[in-house]
Structure 1
């Protein structure tokens, strides 16, 4: 018997299959800047799969993925006009707007909550043991640093009591942990499962505990004001494609498993099956734009040290619901998953 979610999504899967959504307005390339060099083992991969599986084409929008490393490079590329949309950290977007880039707006989030966990050497059996230990981060103030600080603080620990080691990308930090160069680090569950050998290592804080402690929207897709003004139909078409693939994967996880197997043939099928099961409630089936969650995220960020001199922004100063609402006007809203509160 079909699950409740499958029954809810069936009309939208059919709608996408027949491509009856309105077409985008331009044949010009729509460059989507992403902060990974290959499809990541997290729900953000829907951006890659929407390209390879034809979802963007079905919406009539000519999307080109521009790959860079980390949010600062993506934001710089977006501001330099090297793309029309960029998947970036909320913290970086707010900092850019506070620094004067007042036309930037978050319009969707294909992956609101990255499935982070904290992995550590077996000798570290509690978060208290992280005091004095070597803790790998992307950089001081990076998203993983800030979120892990919040998580550990809620558990009675302090990340700044560790020896902070800036190492960059999660796969580099994971390799450093496996090699014994650091004692603990934050990574996605996908990165953890992809490690060839975890002997001597364990999950200190699992992904459920991590996000219970830090229920924040981590990344959004942002666009400049001129793109919103000049290519609104293209922006809505991109969002429709991302919503449609998110709904298809939520209804049938094998869509993701098979798509990722084609993109990353060296990843074990059992790993993909384990990952997609852990992502069951993570898909942005309504565009990932809960006003309550976005406001909570901004309130927390403006209370951190990185924003100590910044004036808090109202939600309308960094978010535009117009493109997502245009997409949902065509696709409808799925209840009981990914709130579309406004």
Structure 2
């Protein structure tokens, strides 16, 4: 089922909720005036680590923050719409789809910049080399698939690639290395792993951060009632995230150290390689969102058919948090 269809089904099943003075059923004001609220993360990876560190900073100010791990961004978005979760961060598309359907959700910061690039086997350097060839994708509703098909639509004048659904970015990297596919979009961490595996001759066909500079596919979003009633706490979180991202960009060893706390199963050497690339590319910048690139992101997802036409940056985002954090 397409991601937009799954989300529409989930939202249609919701009971219309009236926000309470506590900012939703998942948020409570404690006797001492501090808050208790829940944040949803989706299959935590290195891009989630700065968010978890920022939540620690919020806890240091006396608030109780519970974190739940979910398998799909649609589940997080559904919980945000219900008010079960105050904040989440992952794929932007499902959040925009929910907003398009009237859900009380607003984008408040960037989670990580556009880290997707298209990699090909030796000899693949353009779309012309991919006509009829196996092209790995995760699913029809995945953001990487939308990005890749947008590029194919713009660049391929003749025969299109043959799309194969074969799993996540790490699985597709392995399929590329073994010759099962000729090209696939990869996240930065999996591209680094591919390079570290000893595989040689693979080409970066297109860097989507360069070809789609206004696309921000992974953002932080929140329940709008929580933002309206507990703006100070939301600001504490965004400010902490902006500062954490700045620290990591200045010294990628910061991400390595944080990963030891929040993702202890990750190998330190592997994290160090990826952290350096994140730092060099300046992919961590929570305050990178502007009215222009939020609108560019909206326009991309409208072009991809994830949302309808007509949404504006003001409909989707509250940029006051990153503006305040950067002042």
* Pair 171,59 (structure 1): closer, same or farther in 2 beyond 3 Å: farther
Task: State the SS of the aligned residue for 1:282.
Answer: coil
Out of 39, 50, 74, which is 2:45 matched to? 39
Residue 86 of structure 2 corresponds to 84
| Cα distance in structure 2, aligned partners of 1:158 and 1:67 | 42
Residue 243 of structure 2 corresponds to 244
- Cα deviation for residue 94 of structure 1 reads 2.1
Residue 104 of structure 1 corresponds to 105
**Residue 57, structure 1, aligned to residue 59, structure 2:** yes
- Cα deviation for residue 213 of structure 1 reads 0.5
| Cα distance in structure 1, aligned partners of 2:49 and 2:127 | 30
| Cα distance in structure 1, aligned partners of 2:217 and 2:251 | 25
In structure 2, list runs of 5 or more residues that go unmatched: 1-31
| Cα distance in structure 1, aligned partners of 2:253 and 2:237 | 22
> Given that residues 135 and 163 in structure 1 are in contact (C-alpha distance below 8 angstroms), is that contact kept between their aligned partners in structure 2?
yes
> Given that residues 150 and 214 in structure 1 are in contact (C-alpha distance below 8 angstroms), is that contact kept between their aligned partners in structure 2?
no
> Given that residues 120 and 205 in structure 2 are in contact (C-alpha distance below 8 angstroms), is that contact kept between their aligned partners in structure 1?
no
- Cα deviation for residue 57 of structure 1 reads 2.7
Residue 188 of structure 1 corresponds to 187
| Cα distance in structure 1, aligned partners of 2:95 and 2:266 | 34
| Cα distance in structure 1, aligned partners of 2:79 and 2:58 | 22
Residue 72 of structure 2 corresponds to 70
> Given that residues 28 and 62 in structure 1 are in contact (C-alpha distance below 8 angstroms), is that contact kept between their aligned partners in structure 2?
yes
> Given that residues 35 and 69 in structure 1 are in contact (C-alpha distance below 8 angstroms), is that contact kept between their aligned partners in structure 2?
yes
Residue 284 of structure 2 corresponds to 283
> Given that residues 116 and 187 in structure 2 are in contact (C-alpha distance below 8 angstroms), is that contact kept between their aligned partners in structure 1?
yes
Task: State the SS of the aligned residue for 1:313.
Answer: coil
Report the aligned-residue RMSD: 2.9
Residue 131 of structure 1 corresponds to 131
TM-score, length-normalised on structure 2?
A: 0.77
Residue 148 of structure 1 corresponds to 148
| Cα distance in structure 2, aligned partners of 1:57 and 1:304 | 39
| Cα distance in structure 2, aligned partners of 1:250 and 1:230 | 32
- Cα deviation for residue 157 of structure 1 reads 2.6
- Cα deviation for residue 239 of structure 1 reads 0.8
Q: List aligned pairs for 1:1-342, cutoff 5 A.
A: 27-36=34-43, 38-40=44-46, 42=47, 44-51=48-55, 54-101=56-103, 103-111=104-112, 113-122=113-122, 124-154=124-154, 156-157=155-156, 161-195=160-194, 197-199=197-199, 202-205=202-205, 209-215=207-213, 216-262=215-261, 263-264=263-264, 266-267=266-267, 269=269, 272-273=272-273, 275-280=275-280, 281-284=282-285, 287-307=287-307, 310-325=308-323, 327-328=324-325, 332-333=326-327
| Cα distance in structure 2, aligned partners of 1:244 and 1:238 | 10
Task: State the SS of the aligned residue for 1:109.
Answer: strand
Deviations 1:189-230 (A, max 9, x none): 211222463536613325xx3211111111222222221233
Provide the aligned length of Structure 1 versus Structure 2. Answer: 292
| Cα distance in structure 1, aligned partners of 2:200 and 2:223 | 46
> Given that residues 170 and 190 in structure 2 are in contact (C-alpha distance below 8 angstroms), is that contact kept between their aligned partners in structure 1?
yes
> Given that residues 119 and 204 in structure 1 are in contact (C-alpha distance below 8 angstroms), is that contact kept between their aligned partners in structure 2?
yes
Deviations 1:281-334 (A, max 9, x none): 22215x232111111222232233344xx2411222111123334x42xxx43x
In structure 1, list runs of 5 or more residues that go unmatched: 1-24, 334-342
- Cα deviation for residue 242 of structure 1 reads 0.6
| Cα distance in structure 2, aligned partners of 1:94 and 1:233 | 24
